[in-house]
A = this chain, B = another copy of it.
Amino acid sequence: MALLCPVKLKNILPLVNSTDIVTQEMLDYMMLYLEPTTIVDTECLKVGPPSIESEYDGAISVPDVLRVAKEAEQAGYHGIFINCFGDPGVRAVREYVRIPVFGGFEPSVHLALGLCDRIGIVTLRKNVAPMFRGNIAKAGMKERIVSLRYTSLSLEECCQTELLIKAVYDECLKAITEDGVEGFILGCTAMVGVAEGVKAALMKDGYDIPVVEAAQAALKLLELSAQMSLRHSNITYMTPPHLP
């Protein structure tokens, strides 16, 4: 039953872009906790949005995500990461392929659930908050995810790691004292090094609490799923009657 070949995962960036935007540093960071033999291949979309900052962006990414995902399954990949915390197309893709599929939201929640009672999500900007709240409700997680906050940084500022760490840390402190949060998830899959910075800053205040990074969580749980031969239910995810 155990998988004999190395785990091979497809990292789909649900964006139209060159894969050049995925630097080696980002890949190394995402793959930090994977087995040395695990392979992660990255692919961007041919048709889709420049970035995902709304339900609109998510929606226009999905048709091409479906194509890439199907090709990945046919090429023998063992799992698919749709690299966005909004989980765009995750449910549709699961109807379409029979290998494990994760976005960023679900797997980071699954890890955080075992680490604290009251989870907070801190994301970059407010546009995605309603979409995230919808995902929390759909996942039945309103009792456990008790806070959703975002920085007030501009998109440009979000790219400056130190600035971002400081802004996320400030929201974390508010979430702890005002919302009773006991552990965090970073609500974006492209925050290289931020979890470590925030965790260290919180530690200085005496808070030795988890700060889950979503891309790492997703890839690691996909690897685990492949190793354990876990596969989503065909009652929840029925194959669509009409396929191309």
Q: Are A114 and B118 in contact (CB under 8 A)?
A: no
Q: A89-B59, A134-B138, A220-B224 are in contact. Are A115 and B233 (CB under 8 A)?
A: yes
Give the bracket for the number of chain A residues in contact with chain B: 35 or more
Q: Chain A: interface secondary structure? A: loop
Q: Which residues of B contact A225 (CB under 8 A)?
A: 114
A-B contact list, 11 entries, CB within 8 Å = A54-B92, A59-B89, A60-B62, A63-B63, A106-B114, A111-B228, A117-B133, A130-B235, A137-B137, A183-B236, A209-B235
Segment of A5-13, A19-27, A140-148, A159-167 engaged in the interface with chain B: A140-148
Q: Which residues of A contact B (CB under 8 A)?
A: 1-2, 32-33, 35, 49-51, 53-60, 62-63, 66, 89, 91-92, 95-96, 98, 100, 102, 106-107, 109-111, 113-118, 126-127, 130-131, 133-134, 137-144, 155, 176, 182-183, 206-210, 212, 216, 220-221, 224-225, 227-228, 230-243
Give the residue of B56, B130, B182 whose beta carbon is less than 8 angstroms from that of A117. Answer: B130
